[in-house]
Amino acid sequence: MSDAPAANRRGAELGLGLLAVIVAAFGYLLVQLAQKPDVPPDLWVIFGAVLALFVAAHLAVRRLAPDANQVLLPIAALLNGLGFVTVARLDSNLGRIQAAWTAVSVLAFVLTLVGVRRIRTLERYRYSFLFLGMVALLLPLAPGIGKTINGARLWVGVGPVNFQPGEAAKVFLVLFFAAYLVDKRELLASGSRRIGRMMLPEPKHLGPLLLAWGVSILIMVRETDLGQAMLIFALCGVMLYVATERAAYTVVTVVLFLTAAGIAYQLFGHVQTRVQTWIDPFKYANDKGYQLVQSLFGFAAGGFAGTGLGLGSPKQIPNVATDFVFSAIGEELGLLGCVAVLVALLLFIGSGYQIAVRSERPFPKLFATGLTTIIGLQSFVIIGGVTRVIPLTGVTLPFISYGGSSLLANWVILALLLRISDDNVQGTLARRSRRTARAP
């Protein structure tokens, strides 16, 4: 009974993935033709490499998680392919580096599926993952290997390779939050102390959670990366609400978030700068508002259908391949391209939350919620920042922005979501088989 549905899912995944590969290959061809009217000699090499990477990921899922969700991998391939095309169009050297990181990320995806055969086994190592998360957050502060780039000390340099361990820290912390909240959810939901109209739990039950939360924020503040700090802040609040279903925690989280944002505004000059440029970027168009103004001009130049791949001027925006890659897409692919990216991200996020809803056990439900929330929050924060919906913060657009650490973390998140999805279906089939066996 399970073979046919699994085969259908994997067949749909293969078809959608091949379509994503073709879209990426044609995008690369259009970018190269915009520079010179000749078919690039490396087109078939690029096409073959992208196809091989997707087929490797697909075969890993077919072998190791045959009943997993069928749309997550093709969506990731589409977004990753679009990101590679955009980054390669902006800087050919960065494009080659991004291609290498994509290969490493797909390898990490396969290794995650191989190493994590049952998602519940991770629950037992909650405090080990908390320790790993803290170490990952502290590494950029270590003398000798920690590096400050663009004003933020988020990087670790080992030889010629620079990476952000904070990307891995988010995954480790989500795993800890999920396991700890499962263990304490009844105590946190009921509470034992009344303050006004709210029932709050004993402080000792909130202790490890607040420790992980507080230390993460303090470290991020020390590294002048308030965007990641606020991301972890919001992530913890979302998971706490999902675990307890108490709106009071949401209210407290919002109040603490606004308080922390106000304190950050008073203490840090770069936060004040970002708020000022968000309110009136054109007032500072020649200095600190230059990036945001150029981003808005890029969206305006793109219009409905865009200038065409390779025909715009996105290089006018500093750091366009990282913080403002969505602006480059908006200029050269227009409103249609932006909507396509948003739809793909929403489908990914919706599928992730669907996996969480279908999980009958609390740990995979919370873990899938946290992993999906990482993708959702990062997407909202960076897209909202470059379109001037919210103040700009320095996070990456999942699967699209240039950056090996982010890409690697996103592919690991994808593998974990697929593992949870496969476990859900396997559990459902096992229960159905037991009911059939007991039936007279």
Least confident of 91-95, 216-220, 386-390: 216-220
Sheet containing 161-163: give its strands across: 146-149, 152-158, 161-163
Q: Assign 3-state DSSP to the chain and report helix, strand, coil percentages, each to 5.
A: 75, 5, 20
Report whether pLDDT(3) > 60: no
CA distance 18 to 78: 10
Mean pLDDT of 427-434: 75
Mean pLDDT of 411-415: 97
Least confident of 43-47, 257-261, 436-440: 436-440
Residue whose tokens read 């922390």:
260
Higher pLDDT, 356 or 249: 356
Report whether pLDDT(372) > 50: yes
CA distance 45 to 25: 10
CA distance 82 to 76: 10
User: What proportion of the chain, given as a percentage, has pLDDT over 90?
Assistant: 41
Shortest CA distance to 50 belongs to which of 10, 94, 95? 95
The per-residue pLDDT for 204 is 62
Residues 335, 105 contacting (CB under 8 angstroms)? no
The per-residue pLDDT for 216 is 62
Mean pLDDT of 206-215: 66
List Cβ neighbours of 178 (8 Å cut-off, separation of 6 or more).
Answer: 123, 239, 363, 366, 367, 369, 370
Residue 162 belongs to domain spanning: 3-438
> pLDDT-based confidence at 196, cuts 50/70/90?
low
List Cβ neighbours of 30 (8 Å cut-off, separation of 6 or more).
Answer: 308, 309, 310
Residue whose tokens read 């409905």:
304
CA distance 360 to 376: 22
Count the domains in the chain.
1
> pLDDT-based confidence at 164, cuts 50/70/90?
confident
The per-residue pLDDT for 212 is 63
pLDDT digits (tens, 9 = 90+) for 298-307: 999 999 999 9
Residue 118: strand, helix, or coil: coil
List Cβ neighbours of 150 (8 Å cut-off, separation of 6 or more).
Answer: 319, 394
Mean pLDDT of 173-184: 88
**378: Cα within 13 Å, side-chain hemisphere:** 27
Higher pLDDT, 416 or 31: 416
Mean pLDDT of 238-244: 86
Mean pLDDT of 326-336: 95
The per-residue pLDDT for 83 is 94
Shortest CA distance to 82 belongs to which of 328, 421, 406? 328
Shortest CA distance to 75 belongs to which of 30, 24, 38? 24
> pLDDT-based confidence at 207, cuts 50/70/90?
low
Q: Against a cut of 0.85, is the pTM above it?
A: yes
Higher pLDDT, 145 or 440: 145
